[in-house]
Structure 1
Amino acid sequence: MSRVKSAFRTPWFWAIIGIALLLLVNTIKNPAYLAVSVNPTTGLLTGNVLDILRISAPIIMIALGMTFVIATEGIDLSVGSMMAVGGAVAMQTLSTLDSNSVGAMFTAIGLALLLAIVLGAINGILVAVVGLQPFISTLIMMLAARGIARVITDGQNTNATNEPFRQLANGQILGLPTSFVLAIAIVVLIALTMRRTALGLMIESIGINPKASRLAGIRPRPILIGVYVLSAALAAVGGLFSVSEVMTVSVGGTGNLMELDAILAVVIGGTSLAGGKFSILGSTIGALLIATLNKTVLFLGIPAAATPAFKALVIIALVLLQSERVRSFAFSRTKSSGTPTGPATPAATESTPVSKEVVA
C-alpha cells in the first residue's frame, strides 16, 4: 500500500497514466491503432507506436537540456532556434559536400554541434558572468539563432541527400527508430554522469541556494555556463533528428515553439520551475507524453485552430492530477461522504472544545 501511495505522489506516474489514456482513446477510435506491421518495401516495422517513438526523440533531447537549466532556476527559450541552427548547418554542409558518405554525415553533425556549443556558451556567459536574467538572455538568443539559421541557408528551405544521415530518423535498431534509441542512449549516459558524480548535486544546490553553494566551495559560473552549453548541444541534436526525417530544414518551421513543449515536458516530469531537484526520468516520460499528445491531435483530426486548446485541456487535467492538494481534497471529500451519521464518539466530543479554543 505504501508503494502505491508513493507512486501516486510521483509526478511522472500521472504522465504514464496520461499516455495510457491517450492510447486508449486512439484505440477506441481505431482498434488496430497499436498494431505493428512489416513494410514489404523496406522490410522495416511500421505502426503508430513507432511513429510516436520517432517524433519523441527531438522532444526528449530538448527536454533533457531544459531539465538542467530549470534545475538551476533558469529557463532556455532558445532551444527551438538551436534546433533550426543545427538542422541548417547539417543540411547546408551536406548539400555543399554533395557526398553520400558516413564522413560527410559526421562532418555535418560536428559542425552543427560546434556552432550550438558556441551559442550555448554565449547564453551561459550572459547569465553567469554578465548577470542577465535567463529569460532575457535566452529570448535574445532565440531571435539571434533563428537569424543565424536564415543566414546559413540564405533564408531558403535547404535539402540534401545523404543516406547515412537519413537513417538517423528513418532507420531502425532492433525494431525501434534509430533516433529514439540514440536519444535514450544519450539520456542514460547523461543520467549516469549526473548521478554517479557530484555534478548533479552541484546543479541542484545552485538551484536551491546559489549563495550557500558558493560558500560550500561550489563555483556556480562554470556550472551555469556548462548547463547552457549542454542545453544548446542537445537542442542541436534534436534538430538533427528532426531534419533527418525529411532531409529538409525549414528555417521558419524547424523547432518552432518547441521550447514550449520542452518546458511542459520538464514540468510534467516533476522538475520545479523554482529550481533545485530535477528528474531525468520524469522529463523523458513527459516528452513521450507530449509526443503522444501531438500524434493524438493529428489522429483524431482535431482542427488546427482548436489544437492548442485541446492540448491545454489535457495538460491542465494532468497537472491537476499531479497536485497533491487537489488529490487530498478529493480524497477527503470521498472519505467524508462515506462517514456514517450518528452520535459523536467520545474522541470527537473531546476534540470539539479544542477546535473551538483554536478558532477563538
Structure 2
Amino acid sequence: MRRLIWPIAVLIALLALNVFFTPGFFSIEVKDGHLYGSLIDILRFGAPLILVALGMTLVIATGGIDLSVGSVVAISGALACLLISGDASVFTAVALALGLCLVLGLWNGFLVAGIGIQPIIATLILMVAGRGLAQLITDGQIITVNSPAYKEIGAGYWLALPSGIIIVAVVLAITAFLTRRLALGVLIESVGGNAEASRLAGIRSRGIIVMVYAFAALCAGVAGLMISSNVSSADGNNAGLWIELDAILAVVIGGTSLAGGRFSLGGTVLGALIIQSLTTTIYSIGVPPETTLLFKALVVTAVCLIQSPSFRAKVLRGRGRGRAAPPPVPAPAAQEETSAPDGVRS
C-alpha cells in the first residue's frame, strides 16, 4: 500500500488543479438515466489505456516488454469494422478480431519463450509489421460503420455507466482474482525474478511467458474494439498510435518494476488514470498543441522522480548537508579494570 501513496497523491493533485480551470469539474449529473461529468469522461476515455496497461503489467512482471500492443489495437478495430461493413454480424466480427489478436499474442510469446529472441526485438517486429497489416486490412482508408450494436461496446451505457468502464471493471476483477487469489501471480513473479531458477523448480516458465503475451494482445484487442466502436470507424494508421508508450508509463508510475519480479494491478490503474487526467488537464489549461507532448513528458518525468525513493533520499541528503552539524556525542567513560584472583583481567 505504501507504493500507492505517491500515485494517489499525484492523481488527487491533478484532479484538484482542474477545478481552477473548469468550474464544476467534480460534479456528476444524471441525464436520461446515464451518468455524465468530467470524472466519468476521464474513466471512459482512459478505459482503453487501462486495458492495455493491465496486459503490459503482466508482461513486464515476467521481465519482458510488449511494443506491439498499439498495432494490435489497430488490427482489432480494422478487422472488426471491415467485417461489419461486409454485413457480418457484430458477434462474428468481434470473435474473429479477438481471435486474431490472440494468435498475434501467441506469436509474440513463441518468439520470446520458444526461440529466445529478446522481448523488445520480438515485439518490435509485430509493432512494425502489425501497423502495416492494419493498413492492409483497411486498404489505407478509414472504414466507417453504422452499427448500433457495435457502437455499444465503446460508446454505449450499461447500468448508467459507460460500457467501457464496465468492461474494464470486469477484466480487472478477473485478472486480480487469477493473479492474487490463485497461485498464478506468484508464478508470474517468480518467472520475472529468475526464469531459469523457476524452471528448475518445476515451473513451466515458457508456458507462463506465452500466456502473458497472449493476455496482453487480448487486452489490446478489446481496447481496439472500444476505440473503433466509440468513433464508428477504423483507422489503421492512427488507431492506438503510441498507446504502448503510455501503457509502459502507467505501469512504471504504478510501481511495477521494469526488471520484473513484482507487479501492482492497482498501481497500474492509478498510473493510467494519472496519464488520462494529465491529458485532460493539458486541454483544460490551454497548453498549445505544439508543446503538448513536451509538457506531458516533463510532468511524467517529475511524477517518476517524486515517486523514486532514491531520488527523495538524495534530495533530503542534500538538504541535510546545508544544516549545521550536530555537536559530537561524548564517548562513554572507560570502565575501570578489575583484577581477578587468578590474575585474569575481566
Deviations 1:196-221 (A, max 9, x none): 22221111111111111011001221
1:199 is aligned, of 167, 174, 184, to 184
1:76 is aligned, of 38, 63, 66, to 66
1:143 is aligned, of 128, 146, 151, to 128
| Deviation at residue 348 of structure 1 after TM alignment | 11
Matched, 1:106 2:91: yes
TM (norm. structure 1) is 0.87
| Deviation at residue 342 of structure 1 after TM alignment | 7.2
Give the match's secondary structure for 1:46: strand
* Other-structure match for 1:306: 291
Distance 1:64 1:54 in 2: 16
2:25 is aligned, of 23, 33, 53, to 33
One-letter identity of the residue aligned with 2:93: A
TM (norm. structure 2) is 0.90
Distance 2:84 2:5 in 1: 42
* Other-structure match for 1:162: 147
| Deviation at residue 136 of structure 1 after TM alignment | 0.8
Give the match's secondary structure for 1:254: coil
Residue correspondence of structure 1 range 311-322 to structure 2 within 5 A: 311-322=296-307
| Deviation at residue 333 of structure 1 after TM alignment | 5.7
Give the match's secondary structure for 2:20: helix
Rate the CA distance shift 1:69–1:343 in 2: closer, same or farther, 3 A.
Answer: closer
Deviations 1:290-320 (A, max 9, x none): 1111122222222222111111111111111
Give the match's secondary structure for 1:76: coil
1:181 is aligned, of 151, 154, 166, to 166
Rate the CA distance shift 1:349–1:145 in 2: closer, same or farther, 3 A.
Answer: farther
Matched, 1:256 2:229: no
Distance 1:220 1:19 in 2: 36
Deviations 1:39-62 (A, max 9, x none): 4xx553322111111111100111
Q: Choose 283-292 or 299-308, whichever is displaced more.
A: 299-308
One-letter identity of the residue aligned with 2:330: P
Deviations 1:179-208 (A, max 9, x none): 012112101101101122222111111111
Distance 2:252 2:138 in 1: 34
Matched, 1:275 2:260: yes
* Other-structure match for 1:53: 43
One-letter identity of the residue aligned with 2:263: F
2:197 is aligned, of 196, 212, 215, to 212
Residue correspondence of structure 1 range 275-354 to structure 2 within 5 A: 275-332=260-317, 343-346=327-330
- Higher helix proportion, which one? 1
| Deviation at residue 336 of structure 1 after TM alignment | 7.2
Structure 2 unaligned residues grouped into runs of 5+: 335-346
Distance 1:217 1:227 in 2: 18
* Other-structure match for 1:358: none
| Deviation at residue 71 of structure 1 after TM alignment | 0.9
Deviations 1:337-358 (A, max 9, x none): 787x7754436999xxxxxxxx
* Other-structure match for 1:130: 115
Deviations 1:126-169 (A, max 9, x none): 11111111111101101111111112221211111121221222
One-letter identity of the residue aligned with 1:70: I
One-letter identity of the residue aligned with 2:73: M
Distance 2:331 2:109 in 1: 60
Distance 2:124 2:13 in 1: 35
| Count of aligned pairs between the two proteins | 334
Rate the CA distance shift 1:336–1:162 in 2: closer, same or farther, 3 A.
Answer: same
Rate the CA distance shift 1:230–1:347 in 2: closer, same or farther, 3 A.
Answer: farther
Larger Rg: 2
Q: Choose 227-236 or 161-170, whichever is displaced more.
A: 161-170
Deviations 1:261-311 (A, max 9, x none): 000000011111111101111111111111111122222222222111111
| Deviation at residue 114 of structure 1 after TM alignment | 0.3
| Root-mean-square deviation over aligned CA pairs | 2.2
Contact 2:56 2:216 in 1 (8 A): yes
Rate the CA distance shift 1:28–1:345 in 2: closer, same or farther, 3 A.
Answer: same
2:106 is aligned, of 112, 121, 128, to 121
Distance 2:165 2:113 in 1: 33
Matched, 1:229 2:214: yes
Contact 2:67 2:120 in 1 (8 A): yes
Fraction of identical pairs, as percent? 45
Matched, 1:19 2:11: yes
Contact 2:33 2:160 in 1 (8 A): no
Q: Choose 119-128 or 28-37, whichever is displaced more.
A: 28-37
One-letter identity of the residue aligned with 1:93: L
